[in-house]
Each structure stands twice: as C-alpha cells, then as structure tokens.
Chains A and B, each alone.
Chain A
Amino acid sequence: MSEKKLKFSGAIQTGERPTPGATATSENSTRRNRVEPAPVPFSADELRRISSEISAKGLPAVEATRLELMEIDPWNVHAYWHIDAADMAAGRARLPENARDARLVLRFSDVSPRQNGTGAYEPFDIEVREDSNNWYVNLWRDAKRYSADIGLRAADGDFVPLARSNEVATPRGGPSPGLDFLQVEVRTPRAPEAAPAGGSTTPVDTLLRELFPQRRPPVEEFPLVMPEASDRPLEAPAFPRLEVPSEGAATAALRAGEALEPATVEAPSRAEVDQGSSGAMAFPVLAPTEISRYHHLARMTKTEFLAQASLPPLPPVAVETIAPADFELVSHPLPILPVVAAGDTASNGRVAEAARPSAGPEHPPAPLALEAILGKTVFSPSAMDAAVAVSASIVIEGQGSPDAPLSLFGEPVLLQPDGRLTVRLPLEGGPDLVALLHHVWERHRKE
C-alpha cells in the first residue's frame, strides 16, 4: 500500500474546465487561464457521438494468464481464469506423449494456519471445462484459507500448473470458539494520541466478574451455547425427568409457565413446584454443602450434567418440562405488542416464550418447531440460611438453516453442522421474552 500523500485540490464544487474549443495537444499549451464553463460546453449530439465512438471499441480483453479466487460465502468461492494460448500449449508440451488428453483442473490447497504442528492438508482437484473461464466451487468448510493452481492433470496424476491464484479466506459461518476478552481504546479525532494499536493483553475473565457482577457467569463456567453434538430427537427432553417424591410442607409455589421472580420465592425452608396436573412436589432440605454441589451441577455442560445427575448421592431436583413452545409469524397489519409476560403468546416475530403451559393435543407443534424446556432447580437452604437460593435456566433446542445466523438477546448462537442448536439460558428475575432471531435478508430494491 502506497505511503504517498494525496494531493487533492481544494474546493471542487462543479469543477473547472479548459476553455471550450481548444485543440492543443502539447502539454504546455494546456496551462491556461480558467473560466467557469457553461454547464454543458458540448451539444448533446456531440457528447453522444463521442461516447458511442469510444464505447464501440468494446470491452478490453484480459490477456495475461491468470487465476483469481473470490470468496462468495463461508462455503463457496468463485474462480476465474484466463490462460494464454501459448501458455496452454507449453503446458501440454510438458506432459508425456500419452498424456496429451490431460484435463484442466483447479487444484485447491487449504493453507489455513496449522494447529498443533499438523502437516499440510492434502490438496484436492476440481475438474473444470476447458471452454469455461470461471467456476463456482463448494469448499464444505468455513473459516479456511485457500489458494489454488490451475493446471493440466494427466490420468496417471501428473500435474502441470499453469497459474497460481491469490489466497482467499472464507468467512466464519458461526460464532468464534475464541473467548478472549481484551479491551482496546477506540480512535477518536479529538484525542488521536489515545488511539493505540493493540490494547491490553491482560486476560479479563476475572476482571469481568468484578466489572460486571450482575452479568451471567463467564462462559467457560456456564456456557450460553452448548455445541456438542446430540443424536437425541428434538421432541425428547434434554434433561432427564427426575421423579421426585412429594413430601413436606410447601412454601413458595411456582407454577408451570411462570417466570421465576425473586419476590415469589420466600424464605421458608422448602420450596414446592406445582407441576401442572401431576400435583405438587416438595424437596428435601439440603445442607449448604449440597447446595454448592447443585450450583456446581448447574454450571456444567449438558453432558456433564447428565453424567452427574445419575449419581445416587444427590437428592433429586425438580425439573419442569414445558414443550413445545409456539412460534408465530405475523401478517399485516401489525398490532402493537403489549408487554409480554411469560406464559403469554407473543404476537410478532419468531419468538419463543420462556415459559408456557404444557402442551397437550390441543397444542400441536408449530411449523418451525422449537422445544423450550424449562429447568427449575430449587434449592432449599438449611435453617441457618435466611433465604432460598434459586437457580433457573431454560434450555432451548431447535433446528434452523445451517447457514443463517441466529442470535439470542443479540448474542451469537452456535449451530451444529445440521443446523441444530442447543442453548442454555440463565433466567433472570421478572417476566422474560426470549427472542431467538433467525436472520433473514430482505431488502427493498432500488430501481
């Protein structure tokens, strides 16, 4: 990139033009006094004629042998090339006599940075037509760097390259696995000296906890997104339904479909969950050490949770299953949305509700099915504790188009290759509306 300073002139407004009619061709004769020109110092006919004459020559030909790649999206690139006839002949001449029917191929190399000292990736060939000059290539994987050679490949595998491409980097098709949190000062025109390149290199996971205490726990402890693959059908619950014996006194009653409000959970030593038609359930009193084990449990990934949940020493927890949540697509005219409390039906957008009464036969799955499973884990403290500890989250599962970004509360949702998603979302106090947005691209066209 050039370091040359630009030498733009000052005010440019409508531009100054030489005196109309001048035909001088020497450099010096063009330096003359300027006058503000008439808006169109040519007749329309003359301009049209000159334009037509210049355009009549046609488009310039690209002559040099060349191969270029351009990214289309995370999984596709476009290649175009021109091979000079002499270069093609020279390439064929380099092949043995019995290989003169060699085919033209694009030989792609994955030149992504190697990890853990792994060796070079095996190149792969895309056979292309010799009478073509461009090709659309599906490369299967996102966030990769590729380069390619175009050349002649004989039946025995001999390859004669004719041109090498530029290097391209396919975009990332989903959220980055990188979770570093570094901060950097932004540039401002008023204080350019405070615009450093780089920024703090101090990992701030711990700092974040101090700076943002009310935010959800850091991701490595309580992952918002659980990327591990699952063979479980969508309609099956993600968490085991633990049968809990009903016992003891009920205190804070939580109804299915009701968001957890701190105010609804009061101090007494037991909590009860009303699980719809299945009746009330109560929970054993837990010692503080056991509570901490539940907290630990709640911060683990799903796989870890399933493994730990089957261990006998832990007293059972309550798991409320609510499925499926409805989606609703809205047609015109748009109503004004009221504030939606959990359990209400949202009236616009692809909105999954945080909580909804159990679906019966009268609630068939919505066309774009998304199962919302509400896991309420209610902890009962010992008599020494003054408050009930409540930890609640929902697990959202579903499936969308693998190439359409999803966001939840404006945050990225990682999709599995087949488009499945599993998201665990900690619930906050108060009514909540969980908006899982499936991004679409629609634009009004300019004509």
Chain B
Amino acid sequence: MPQGFQCIVLHAHLPYVRHPEYESFLEENWLFEAITETYLPLILGLERLRAAGVKDCLTLSLSPTLLTMLRDPFLQQRYLAHLDKLRQLARQEVRRTRGDPAFAPLARLYQERLEEAVEVFEQEHGRDLVAAFAQLQAEGVLELITTAATHGFLPLLKTEPAAVRAQLLVGAQTFQTMLGFPAKGVWLPECGYYPGLEGVIEEAGYNYFFVDSHGILNATPRPYYGLSAPLACPNGVATFGRDPESSRQVWSRDEGYPGDYYYRDFYRDIGFDLDFDYIKPYILDGHTRIHTGFKYYRVTGPGDHKLPYDPAAAGERIDAHASDFATRSRRNIAARGKRASLAPLIVSPYDAELFGHWWFEGPQWLEAVVRRFAEQSEIVALTTPSAYLADNRSLQAATPSASSWGDGGYNAFWLNPGNDWIYPLLHDAARRMNALARQHGDALPDSLTGRALQQAGRSLLLAQASDWPFIMKAQTAEDYAQRRIRDHLARFDYLEDCVRHASIDERRLQALEVMDQIFPGLDPAVFC
C-alpha cells in the first residue's frame, strides 16, 4: 500500500473550428498545431510508457468538439496539407541555416519532428488519433473522460436548466458514440460548478467530476480530509479537487517550470523574425505574419534578449523538474499523511495544450514525471479517478462550493463588461430552442423540419461555447469570437424562423449542415 496517490489529469479541448467556406482559415491552425505539438507527442510518450508496463498513469479529457474535429476527414486532409507546407519550410530552413552551429541542429530537429508527425498520423494511426487514445485506455495506460458538448460554461447557462442538460447529455453521448464506451467521469468546462449540477452529471451517466481547490475547501459540510480525498455529493457522484501547489508548479508564469530559462521560448518565431519575402509563402494569405512553429530561442531571461535554444540543456532541466515534481508530491503526501489516517490523494489537472504547444518540453516532462512515480510506486502511486474510487467507495458526503478555475475562482472571466452582452441572447435562444423542440418534437429526424430542428440545436450549442467569452475577455482573437457567436445565433434565429413558418430552403439548410457538421445524431428532445 503506497503512502499516497497522485492523479494527473489533462483536459484536451479546442473550440469547434471548421471553415469549409474558406480555402484556408487561420483559426484551424489551432487544431493543426495542437495535433503536431501536443496530441502526437502525448500519444508517442504514452506508447513508450505502455511498453514499459506503466498503468493508470494519466486521466485525459477529450472534449466532444475536439473528438469531432479529430475524426473529421475534411480537417484531417487539411492537417496533412498544413504539414506538407511546414515540411517545405523545414527543408528551406535546413538549407538556410546550414553551417550555423546554433540554428542548423534546430532546423533539423523541426524537420525530423514534422516527418515523424506525418508518419505517426497517417501511417501508424491511419489519421485516427481518437482510436489511438481509445487503444491506450483499452490497455490500461490511461483513463479517458470528456466534457460538455461545446464546453459551455455551465454556471452561466443555468438560468435555462435545459441548456445545461443538453450540454452534458450531448457531450456524454458524443463521447460514447466516438469511443464506443461511456466516459466514467466528466471535466466540467473551466471547472465551472454550482450546487445542484451533480444531478445532471448523474443523469448523463458520470460517476465523478473535478472542481477547483476552493470548491472542495469551501464545501458544505467542511471537508474532513481537505484536498487529500474526494468528496461524494449526496447523490453519490464523486468530486475531486485540484491541488493548488502542483498546479502552480506548472501553470504559474512566474514560478512554474515552463518559464525556466533553458526551455524554448514560445514567442520568438521565424514567422515574425525573418524577412517578409522569405517567410511570405508560409504566413497567413501571404500578408499577415503568424507563428510557424520554428522557434530557435530559449526563454533566457525576463528581457527581450534571447539566446539560442539548446535541447540538451533543456533536457537536463526536464529531468530536474520531473524529479522536483515527484519529490514535492511525495513530500506533500507525507506531510498530509501525518495528519490523516487515509493515504492522501493529490489531483493535478492541466490544460493538455499547455504541454507541447505552449510548453515545448511539456510532453517530455510529463513522461519523465510518470517514470519517476513508476520507479517508486510503493511510496506514491499514480492513479486515475476510477481506479481510486474502485478502492475507496465510501467518501465523505458534502456538496462542493460553486467555483471555477478561472481568474478569481468564480464566473468573472466569463461574465464581465467585455462579454456580458452575449448572455441575454444565449438565454433567450435556449428558451426558444426549448419551446421549438417541444412544439416539433414529433418531427422525423430525416424530415426537413427534423433536420432544421437538429441544426438549430447545433447552432445553439456552438454559440454556448465558453471559448468565445473567454477569448473576448483575454482579447486574443476577439473579433473571431464575436463573429462566431453572432453567426451561430443568427443561424439559430434563421432556422427557428424556418421551422415556425414551415418554410425551409433545403439548400441553405444543407449549407449550414456542411459548415457546422457536428453532433449528427443530435436529438432535439435533449433541449426539452
């Protein structure tokens, strides 16, 4: 029996970004970059761990929108085209940097990674990364879970309970359809929880969910074991709390590992550094400089001065930081264990895209961390929520406090003067969808009315994504986020009008089905 348990959770999510109405679209790169930099390295690392006999080392949440995009032949094709373009750039870079002792090895490194990406994506996994993850779960390496349909921020949708229910039920059904088995747990979008939500979580078939630290710390009644053990909501659904220290070790800009001076710098990219004419074929529409993924510098320090990236030096830091994480976890568990009779559990969740995309060395670090724990599993053992609950069926009954893992810990990042205008529209659309589904619930799924009803539901779900208010607040791609909400609400409005007036232009309906090609089996009854 180990002294305690460590549960590492990655939440992989991207908003649904698919634009067949354009020959190319910048925001689709979010998916392409994440595949190359995060999902493929993650799969490769997990496959190595599988070969080493590691079990239950990770819990991975795959959002329904991400699952849909990973399984979409249209996006798979575009991803390969994206890779082809980058491979051209890699060849060019290898030529350009030849003879440069600092940059030539890096250009070759990127070239090798891109060639490997094609090989793994197309040859080894037949473009189906969802199947690759499913195989890893089947072999006991990890546990797959999912989240709400389009990652709607549930605490701000709950004025219309049917909207919350649709988000969770459609998410659960999409996962089951894609993977062939139900997810046992759910990652609440942005850890957004409010008391009462556990009822819908149970209805969707989940056994557990996660909340941020204060969701547990401020639970009612007070948690006897604090963050060292999950709680059980009164209906028997378990809830796990995020450990703040291990989260900060990775997340924090100031104190976290990714800011180490020897790690690769995210912001210095040849898309911005090189001559315009040289980089022009590889940037947006030949006009707008963008990140290419070719980054030659390390963090170096707080200023603008940057030194060349040295993978070997970074590798030493990866080892050191992996050991540090494992050491801290063991010490934390030992300290907690002295004050509680149970073997403490530490839950450390992160956004998956941090690993590889933002933090280049992240996947290697993660693999090294797993190996550190595996080497001394008799002290602290890695586990998954389901494995933990299988051995700990009886938990303290308590209701978590409303909370999120966003800035401030509650709802402010998704509700503020920069994005509050969306909620009257989202709530109104949810009410209208509820009424529409009730009035036309008998429409055959294949009929025009049934299809329009389904498509209205898709439009509503897509408008509800938490990504849009998040981006508006973060002011990163604000125009795009606003446009997405406006487009989806306008499409919903149009389709509702079509259904109400029994006047459906099939060509237009088809066009909307092609552009928003998600949740094909959507049952409008879920909105009732």
Which of these, A57, A70, A166, A188, contacts B156 with CB under 8 Å? Answer: A70
Q: Are A447 and B255 in contact (CB under 8 A)?
A: no
Closest chain A residue to B23 by CB distance? Answer: A44
Q: 8 Å CB contacts to A: which residues of B401-454?
A: 401-403, 405-412, 415, 417, 420, 423-425, 427-429, 441, 444-449, 451
Which of these, A27, A410, A446, contacts B444 with CB under 8 Å? Answer: A27
Question: Residue A124 at the B interface, CB < 8 A?
Answer: no
Q: Are A185 and B514 in contact (CB under 8 A)?
A: no
Q: Are A178 and B528 in contact (CB under 8 A)?
A: no
Interface majority SS (helix, strand, loop, mixed), chain A: loop
Q: 8 Å CB contacts to A: which residues of B253-284?
A: 253-255, 257-262
Question: Residue B20 at the A interface, CB < 8 A?
Answer: yes
Q: Which of these binds chain A: B51-59, B87-95, B107-115, B490-498?
A: B490-498
Q: 8 Å CB contacts to B: which residues of A360-394?
A: none
Q: Are B520 and A215 in contact (CB under 8 A)?
A: no
Q: Are A445 and B476 in contact (CB under 8 A)?
A: yes
Q: Are B523 and A70 in contact (CB under 8 A)?
A: no
A128 to B178 Cα, complex, angstroms: 49
Give the Cβ gap from B8 to chain A, nearest Cβ, in Å: 17
Give the Cβ gap from A13 to chain B, nearest Cβ, in Å: 6
**A172-B491 contact given A405-B214, A440-B248, CB 8 Å threshold:** no
Q: Are B222 and A405 in contact (CB under 8 A)?
A: no
A212 to B423 Cα, complex, angstroms: 48
Question: Residue A246 at the B interface, CB < 8 A?
Answer: no
* Residues in chain B near residue A133, CB distance under 8 A: 424
Q: 8 Å CB contacts to A: which residues of B165-204?
A: 165, 169, 173-174, 177-178, 182, 184, 194-195, 200, 202-203
Q: Are A30 and B448 in contact (CB under 8 A)?
A: yes
Question: Residue B98 at the A interface, CB < 8 A?
Answer: no
Closest chain B residue to A27 by CB distance? Answer: B447
* Residues in chain B near residue A74, CB distance under 8 A: 410
Question: Residue B62 at the A interface, CB < 8 A?
Answer: no
- Kindly state the interface size class of chain A when it binds its partner: 35 or more
Question: Residue A288 at the B interface, CB < 8 A?
Answer: no
* Residues in chain A near residue B222, CB distance under 8 A: 175-179, 219, 412
Which of these, A15, A54, A216, contacts B491 with CB under 8 Å? Answer: A54
Give the Cβ gap from B428 to chain A, nearest Cβ, in Å: 5
* Residues in chain B near residue A172, CB distance under 8 A: 218, 220, 401-402
* Residues in chain B near residue A336, CB distance under 8 A: 320, 323-324, 327
A59 to B459 Cα, complex, angstroms: 13
**A185-B236 contact given A10-B521, A58-B490, CB 8 Å threshold:** yes
A10 to B233 Cα, complex, angstroms: 32
Q: Are A12 and B519 in contact (CB under 8 A)?
A: yes
* Residues in chain A near residue B213, CB distance under 8 A: 405, 407, 439
A173 to B220 Cα, complex, angstroms: 12
A446 to B208 Cα, complex, angstroms: 26
Q: 8 Å CB contacts to A: which residues of B339-358?
A: 339-342, 344, 351, 353-354, 358
Which of these, A16, A331, A333, contacts B317 with CB under 8 Å? Answer: A333
Which of these, A27, A48, A62, A134, contacts B420 with CB under 8 Å? Answer: A134
* Residues in chain A near residue B510, CB distance under 8 A: 17-18, 20, 41-42
Q: Are B237 and A187 in contact (CB under 8 A)?
A: yes
A6 to B525 Cα, complex, angstroms: 6
Question: Residue A7 at the B interface, CB < 8 A?
Answer: yes
A180 to B224 Cα, complex, angstroms: 9
* Residues in chain A near residue B390, CB distance under 8 A: 188
Question: Residue A121 at the B interface, CB < 8 A?
Answer: no
Question: Residue A24 at the B interface, CB < 8 A?
Answer: yes
A331 to B156 Cα, complex, angstroms: 37
Question: Residue A230 at the B interface, CB < 8 A?
Answer: no
Q: Are B234 and A178 in contact (CB under 8 A)?
A: no
Question: Residue B140 at the A interface, CB < 8 A?
Answer: no
A71 to B73 Cα, complex, angstroms: 41
A433 to B505 Cα, complex, angstroms: 69
Which of these, B253, B358, B507, contacts A23 with CB under 8 Å? Answer: B507
Q: 8 Å CB contacts to A: which residues of B382-401?
A: 386, 389-390, 392-397, 401
Q: Are A348 and B255 in contact (CB under 8 A)?
A: yes
Closest chain B residue to A80 by CB distance? Answer: B424
Give the Cβ gap from A59 to chain B, nearest Cβ, in Å: 6
Question: Residue B161 at the A interface, CB < 8 A?
Answer: yes
In the assembled complex, 7 residue pairs joining A and B whose CB atoms fall closer than 8 Å, in A order, are A14-B71, A134-B420, A186-B230, A188-B390, A410-B336, A441-B409, A446-B471
Q: Closest 8 CB pairs between A and B?
A: A411-B226, A178-B221, A410-B227, A171-B402, A15-B520, A412-B217, A9-B521, A47-B21
- Having A62-B425, A442-B251, one finds 16 other A-B pairs with CB under 8 Å, namely A14-B517, A27-B444, A55-B490, A60-B493, A171-B194, A171-B410, A172-B401, A181-B396, A185-B393, A213-B341, A332-B261, A336-B324, A337-B328, A349-B245, A441-B408, A446-B476
